[in-house]
Structures are given as C-alpha cells and as structure tokens.
Amino acid sequence: MRKFWLDCVLATAFVFLAFWGLAGLTKLRVFNAFDSLGEALSDVELTDYVFSALRDDPKVDTSIVLVNIGMLSRRQIAEQVTIISKYKPRVIGIDSFFDCRGRNYDTLNCPALTDELGNLMFGDAIRSAGNVVLVTKLLRNDSTLADNEFDTLRRSDPIFRDGALAEGFANLETDAAFQDDVKTCRNFNPVMVVSDSAHRAFAVELALQYDSAKTNKFLRRGNYLEVINFRGNVFDVMGTTNYPQMFYTLDVDDVYNENFVSEMIKDKIVIFGYLGNFLGDPSWADKFYTPLNRKMAGKANPDMFGAVVHANVISMILNEDYVEQMPLWQQVSMAVLICLLNVALFALINTYLPLYYDGITKLLQLIQLLAYSVLMVMIFHWYTFKLNITLTLAAVALVGDVYEVYMSVIKNLYIKILGKFSLTPKPADVLMSETPEKQ
C-alpha cells in the first residue's frame, strides 16, 4: 500500500513537471508566431463565462445615475452640474480630468484656459453643488519603483478641486500599457498608497459619501485587489454584453432639456462621464473589455465605458455583493489533490482493467472537466466565490497521457538504470547445498 501511494505521488509530481515544462516552452515564445489560439485565450479566465452568461440575472440598481458628458466643454459641463445639482443628488462624481495634462499652463499649450469665464463657471458650479468628487490618477515618476508603487497624483486644477468634496483615483487594474491600449478590467484596487498617504479609489470614495457604513465594511476586508462583481452595462445597443441596461442613464440633451423626472436624481449617486459622443455611439474611447463581454476570446469590441465600470464597483459595494476568490495556494493544493486521486484511480484501472485503460481514463477525464466547470458555476452562484480551477483542469487534462508516459517510459528507465548500477537486488544465487550423504 505504501509503495502504491509512493508511486502515485511520484507520478503526480511527474504530471506537474510535464505541466511546468510545457508552460516553460510557451514562455520561450518559440511558437508564438503561430499561436493564434494562445493569443486569443491569453486574456480569458474561465469565470468570465460565469459573469457573461451563467449566473442569476442581477437586478437593476436604481441608486446610480450615469450622465453622458460627450464632448462638452467645461462651461457646458458646468451647466450640466448646475442642472443636476438642483435636484439634490446625494453625491456627484465627475469622471474626467480638468488640467493641462502636464503641459505649460498657458492658452497656447492648454486651449481650455482660453475660456476663462467657462472655467470660473465650472469651478463655481462644483463649489455650489458642495458634493462633487473628482478623479485623480496614480502616477510613477521614479522609474525604480515597483509596478504597484506610486509617488505622484495627477489632479484637476486647483480652481476645480478646491471646491470639490473629495477626490479618488480612477486607475483600474488592466494590462494596458497606456490609456488607449486594449484594456481588460476584472479587478480594482480599493486603496493605494502614494508617498505614504492612503488614497481611495474614485468608486470607493463615491460609495463612502453615499453610505459610509457599507463602504467601511467593504474596506475592512483589507484586500489589495478586489474582483468586480459586474452588474451590467448601459445603453449597450450593439449587444456586446448580456446585461445591456442596468443603471439610469441620461444623454447630454436629456440634461439640458431636463428630460427626466426629479425623483430619479434625488438622493442618488450621479456619475458624469464619457459615454460616447451620444448614447449609442460605437466609440472605443475610454472603453474596456469586461467579463460581461459576450465574445470571450479573439477579436471583439470593447464593451464598457470607464464610468460604467466605476458604477459597477459602487453597486457591488452598496449591495455587499463581494466576490471571494481562491488564493494561489488553494488553487495549487486542489490541483495536486485531484491529480493524485486521478493517478491512484488510473493506476488501479491499469492494474485491473488494462485492456480498457485508454477508454475509461479518457471518459473519466471528460466527465471531470464537465463536472468541475459545473462546480465552478454553482459555487459562484451559491457563494459568490470565484473558484479558479484552471490548474486543476490542466492537471486533469494531462494526467491520463502523462501517467502512461510515466509508467511505460520513466519507471522502466528508472528500473533499467538502477539495474545497470547493480543497485537493484538480483535474484538470490541458488545455493547448492551439500546433500548430506546417505549413511
């Protein structure tokens, strides 16, 4: 029995060695030029399927209103803020920067300064509203800092931020190298430290102003990174997601013409942000790929504007709909345990049903792949827990064939090598005992 389990452990170790070798080969990127499948799948997580199509349909969140600022000037946004503020929202967030982007502070390099009256109007509108939260951006001037360390903040000009209630960083966790790069967003950082000072995310700041109790409960989780439990999109007329309209939305003209009812704004969170030049505009500016995208892999249209991503974060916090996820050590442990049990089972099949080994093991692998993916979906549905089973599925997919390689090649090679060096006990010499003479 002990030998059996030792054998199983060694075979399991070999499966993971093979897995590591294959993973290493892919890192050499030797086949990358032809690896379109790998490229397409590199940005996919299995739980994206859950978010997109395999969970209970979330309900609309009516506590958040999104207002499109389109390509309005500061003066025009000031008018929007003034109009909306009349209807007494609880808090207003403006998902846009109002600065000179690091250029010289003159009208030549910063044309927005030309409209002095408009800037004054906007600053005044923010001050008069009294409940405006502006965005900041985490920056790294010192290139020796690690990827997750920042030392500077980009902020709007003092004329605007001095009248604001608060600021929050708008950075979202993606693989983008720059603002207009392809951006896939699944997670966000609730709090980041900049030069020894803690700063909250824009969405967290808005949630805090709306409901401090729930937000503080969320912050007490103390996670560096949180999975966004996406609720849905707005004005998704292109049908890129399965949840196309989950928040109140107003277009530019709707605000100017006050084409809405006042109850929709009162005591709500209002987020001003870019939602296209007009609602339904298929613009890609400030648009992210999210797990809600119907097209999982390959070339797809980005599906969600940044302001809507922030709305989803706020909705998650206020509805206390957090997503727990499996830490890495649990993922590895689960993969090792499942692999070990599979190896043990396959060893028994190999011993007692050798003729049917191939058929049975392939069938078992297929059943397990299906079962684990169902388990992933059900566990997310019951516990909002992100069961990351990628390693487990990879181990199950490899175990059948790799175990055969282990038994037929590795183990036999091992026995042969040991035999060559006379390390294996040879069969005992037949002792010719002296037959006692017959007396």
Partner 1 sequence: MKKTITFILTILASVALAQDYAFKVLASKGNNEIKANGAWMPLKTGASLRTGDELKLASNGYIGLVHKKGQPLEIKTPGSYPVVQLESQVNSGTGILSKYADFILSNATPEAKKNRLSATGAVDRGEYHAIKIALPEHAGIYHNVASVGWSGDNIKSPFIVTVLNMFDEELALYETEQTSIQLDLNDAKFAKENAVLIEVKSKGDQNQKSKRHMIKKLAAADQAGIQKSLTEINLVVQDETALNSLILASFYEQNKLYIDAIGAYEDAIRLAPDVSAYQESYTDFLMRNGLR
| Residue 202 Cβ vs partner 1, minimum distance, rounded to whole Å | 22
Binding residues among 262-291 for partner 1 as defined by CB under 8 A: 263-265, 279-280
What b-and-e string marks burial along 294-307, b requiring 16 or more CB atoms within 10 Å of the CB?
Answer: eebeeeeebbbbbb
Closest to partner 1 by CB, 245 vs 331, is 245
Residue 283, CA distances (Å) to 123, 218, 295, 328 in order:
29, 33, 18, 37
From 35-43, 255-263, 303-311, 338-346, span contacting partner 1 (CB under 8 A): 255-263
Print the binding letters for residues 372-411 with partner 1: x by CB under 8 A, - otherwise: --x--xx--x------------------------------
Burial class of residue 221 (count of CB atoms within 10 Å of its CB; 0-12, 13-18, 19+):
exposed
Check residue 301 for interaction with partner 1 (CB under 8 A). no
**251 in contact with partner 1 (CB under 8 A):** yes
Distance CA 50, CA 361 (A): 28
**For partner 1, how many residues bind (rule: CB under 8 A)?**
42
Could you say which of 71, 237, 367, 371 contacts partner 1 (CB under 8 A)? 237
Please state, in angstroms and as integers, the Cα–Cα distance from residue 250 to each residue in 11, 67, 191, 233, 260, following that order: 61, 5, 30, 14, 8
Dihedral angle over CA of 267, 153, 108, 272, nearest 10:
-20
Which part of the chain contacts partner 1 (CB under 8 A), choosing from 134-142, 150-158, 199-207, 256-264? Answer: 256-264
Nearer to partner 1, 200 or 310 (CB): 310
54 lies in the binding site for partner 1 (CB under 8 A): yes
Q: Does 248 bind partner 1 (CB under 8 A)?
A: yes
* Residue 260 near partner 1 by CB under 8 A: yes
Q: How far apart are CA 223 and CA 395, in angstroms?
A: 29
E strand or H helix at 217? helix 212-219
Angle at 171 between CA 169 and CA 174, to 5 degrees: 165
Should residue 292 be labelled a site residue for partner 1 when binding is judged by CB under 8 A?
A: no
One residue of 57, 320, 429, 434 binding partner 1 per CB under 8 A: 57
User: Does 351 contact partner 1 by CB under 8 A?
Assistant: no
Residue with tokens 């008018």: 79
Secondary structure letter of residue 297 according to DSSP: S
List interacting residues with partner 1 (CB under 8 A): 49, 53-57, 59-60, 62, 79, 117, 121, 232, 234-235, 237, 243-251, 253-254, 256-261, 263-265, 279-280, 374, 377-378, 381
